[in-house]
Amino acid sequence: MNNILKYIFALCIMITFTSCEGNKKQVKPINIQSAEFKEKLMDANKIYMKQEDDEINQYIAHRHWQMTTTGTGLRYMITKKGTGAQAMSQQRAKVNYKISLLDGTICYSSDTTGAKEFTIEQDDVDSGLHEGIQYMHIGDKAILILPSHLAHGLVGDQSRIPPRASVMYELELLSLR
């Protein structure tokens, strides 16, 4: 990840200095709408996403987990099978949860805040949670690993989850209505 940030920083410095050559020339603003600038940012993001994907895969392999990977990059594993109905879009789900970073730092837990309720595909929770909960049945326990683009993205949550952080959810689906 540090290499990506160094690349982006170097790119910005290069653009700044090349646009400021000579004292007599007028400073040329960076055109963030230019195709070249957008292409360089997309390339840097692809490199970061590949690195993040590799880190998640190493984390999973180190634990010898057999996780399913979806098309969005979500990884999930049902650790205990329940016997209830499967979660579906627009239902109100109640879950026990623990959210942690891949380094083991616990960010949030229902042990301290109580169970969380949210409406699937409607409420303001991580998009990876909306996706992952729909693979679960009432009574299931699961582990979900969300790459940053399915969690808190480029900015984090401005509190306990840093920018561009992958997060792990340990979930138990308590009820649906």
Domain ranges for the chain: 2-62, 68-176
Neighbouring C-beta atoms of residue 105, cutoff 10 Å: 13
Query: For position 40, what pLDDT does the model report?
Result: 86
Residue 113 is predicted with a pLDDT of: 93
Worst-scoring range by mean pLDDT, 36-40, 103-107, 111-115, 117-121?
36-40
Q: pLDDT tens, 79-109? A: 999 999 999 999 999 999 999 999 999 999 9
- pLDDT tier at 33, thresholds 50, 70, 90: confident
pLDDT of residue 163: 94
Q: What was the pLDDT predicted at 30? A: 72
Report the predicted TM-score, pTM, of the whole model to 2 decimal places: 0.79
Name the residue with higher pLDDT: 27 or 96.
Answer: 96
The CATH number assigned to the domain with range 68-176 reads 3.10.50.40
Mean pLDDT of all residues belonging to the chain: 89
Sequence-distant (6+) residues with CB within 8 A of 70 are: 76, 131
Amino acid 38: pLDDT: 86
